Amino acid sequence: MTLNHDDWGKVARMMSKRSLWMVHFCTGCGAMEMPPVMTSRYDMERFGMHAMATPRQADVFLVTGYLAVKTLKRVVQVYEQMRDPKYVIGFGSCTINGGMYWDSYNTIKDLSKYIPVDVYIAGCMPRPEAIIDSFLKLMDMIDKGEAIGWKKYHKYYDQYKKNQRMAYAYRLDEVEDIKEDDAK
């Protein structure tokens, strides 16, 4: 029996879905829900997931809550440091539509305008069961080859970058004069 390229992709996806490492980057209130998920009560290590300190060794990025524009710069930088394939989980209603910060002048409202999001978890805050459920959903999507956010980021890079610059500048126009290295 010989395996062609597609079959090897299937094998790779099957392997990688059981060893997802998560960037340990917490923003907003969602960070409070992570300790029970990570520790013995809900124990996400059952699924082969654990927290990793550096983005370059991680596969999953949990954006745990609201993002100020200043934080968005750091999130984008962390996301771009991660190696492909990489997956983003938007956590709580703040990443979906702003949540309770819907009219705040300094928080972004929809995360998927700035970086591609594979799975959203609704709720304010989502319970650990919901988080575990989203992990299983993500694993399922990886297995089927549906979690392609990172491919979208390559393909529509210009659109994502343009949106990011608009937010950084707090303006819809004249976005060309914003320096790339603002977040450093």
Partner 1 sequence: MMAKELFPEAQELRKGRIRIETIKDKVTEIIKKLKENGYGHFVMLSCVDWIKEGKFELVYQMWSYEYREHVMISIKIAREGDSMVTLRDLFPQIETYEREIHEMFGVNFVGNPRLGEFILEGWPHMPPMRKDFDTEKFVKELYYKIPEVKEE
Residues in contact with partner 1 by the rule CB under 8 A:
69-70, 73, 98, 102-106, 108-110, 112-113, 116, 152, 156, 159-160, 163, 166-172, 178, 182
Cβ 136 to partner 1 shortest distance, Å: 26
Shorter beta-carbon distance to partner 1: residue 17 or 109: 109
Contact between 13 and 145 under an 8 Å Cβ cutoff? The reply is: yes
- DSSP symbols for 80-148: HHSPSS-EEEEESHHHHH-GGGTT-TTB-S-GGGTS--SEEE-SSSPPHHHHHHHHHHHHHHHHHT---
For residue 144, the minimal CB distance to partner 1 (Å) is 19
Rounded to a whole number of angstroms, the minimum distance from the CB of residue 170 to partner 1 is 6
In 3D space, the residue among 55, 111, 114, 112 whose CA is nearest the CA of residue 81 turns out to be 55
For residues 10 and 161, which CB has a smaller minimum distance to partner 1 in the complex?
161
Q: What does the angle CA 163 – CA 168 – CA 173 come to, to the nearest 5 degrees?
A: 60
Between 37 and 167, name the residue whose CB sits nearer to partner 1: 167
CB of 112 to partner 1, least distance (A): 7
Taking the C-alpha atoms of residue 77 and residue 34, their distance in angstroms, rounded to an integer, is 22
Q: Which is nearer to partner 1, 6 or 158 (CB)?
A: 158
